[in-house]
Amino acid sequence: MQHTRPITQLLLAGGLVVAPFTLAACGDDTAGPEEDVSVAEIQEDPGVDAGVDPGAEAGLGYDGLYDSAFYLGTSDYVGQQVTVSATVNEVFGPNSFSIGGTEDTSVEPLLVVGADSSDALTEGDVVQVTGTVQSGYSETTVEEELGIDLADDAFADFELQDYIAADSVDTSVPTETE
């Protein structure tokens, strides 16, 4: 037992030597600039990005206009629920139509399938579509998965493209001029 006593004394002495330095590190230093800085600037959340899509906060993959940014990133949203506002480009039948971009964008039409309200739409209507982005459009696959009958041969331009399987289509969206 006598061998452990000198070791214990050595550890205690070492702890007493280190303690003042440890306590000095716990001073009132804010670790930030001291002058000309407001509390809001110091406490600002660095994780909040002003460019973050508000739909992401609501659990959507995207919530906004069908514009160039969405069009170019459509493949990033595959499998995610999105809400896009756009102009009806062409109506193919009671369960399918395409949307085009806003007046200030030039994007390719995007196919929307599965919405029962398509038959009430006309070209030029402004709509808000909520649904899931899917990849690799195939008429027979979509008909089987959604249990709908699409107009044959109307979708050749959309074959293997991304599309939206719509849950809802809202036609009460204000136009860009309202």
**How do residues 116-168 score in pLDDT, each as one tens digit?**
766 689 999 999 999 999 999 999 889 888 888 887 778 888 999 999 999 99
User: What pLDDT does residue 178 have?
Assistant: 44
Q: What is the pLDDT of residues 74-95, one digit of tens each?
A: 999 999 999 999 999 999 888 8
> What's the CATH number where 119 sits?
2.40.50.140
Residue that has been written with the tokens 């716990």 in this structure = 26
More confident residue, 124 or 44: 124
Task: Give the residue carrying structure tokens 């600002």.
Answer: 44
How confident is the model at residue 43, as a pLDDT?
A: 33
What pLDDT does residue 171 have? 87
How confident is the model at residue 159, as a pLDDT? Answer: 92
Task: Please tell me the total count of domains within the chain.
Answer: 1
- Side chain identity at residue 8, one-letter code: T
Which residue did the predictor score with more confidence, 100 or 34?
100
Within-domain flag for 41: no
Residue 12 belongs to a domain: no
> Which residues make beta-bridge pairs with 113?
96, 165
Relative to beta strand 163-170, strand 110-113 is: parallel
Mean pLDDT of the chain: 73
Q: Cα–Cα distance between 142 and 131 in angstroms, integer?
A: 14
The whole-number pLDDT of residue 48 equals 36
Assess if residue 176 is contained within a domain. no
Q: What is the pLDDT of residue 174?
A: 61
**Residue 48 maps to a domain:** no
In a domain, 84, yes or no: yes
Cα–Cα distance, 113 to 140 (Å, whole number): 13
Q: Count CA within 13 A, CB hemisphere, residue 68.
A: 4
105 located within any domain: yes
In a domain, 177, yes or no: no
Which two three-digit tokens encode residue 120? Answer: 């009430």
Residue 116 lies in a domain: yes
What does the pLDDT look like over 6-35, one tens digit per residue? 555 555 555 555 555 554 555 554 444 444
Low-confidence winner among 13-17, 38-42, 106-110, 116-120 (lowest mean pLDDT): 38-42
Alpha helical stretches, state H, the chain: 4-24, 39-43, 54-57, 68-72, 139-146
Quote the domain boundaries for residue 135.
54-170
Q: What is the pLDDT of residue 14?
A: 56
pLDDT of amino acid 53: 44
Sorting pLDDT into bands at 50, 70 and 90, what band is 1? very low
Residue 112 has pLDDT above 60, yes or no: yes
- Closest by CA to 135, choosing from 166, 159, 101, is 159
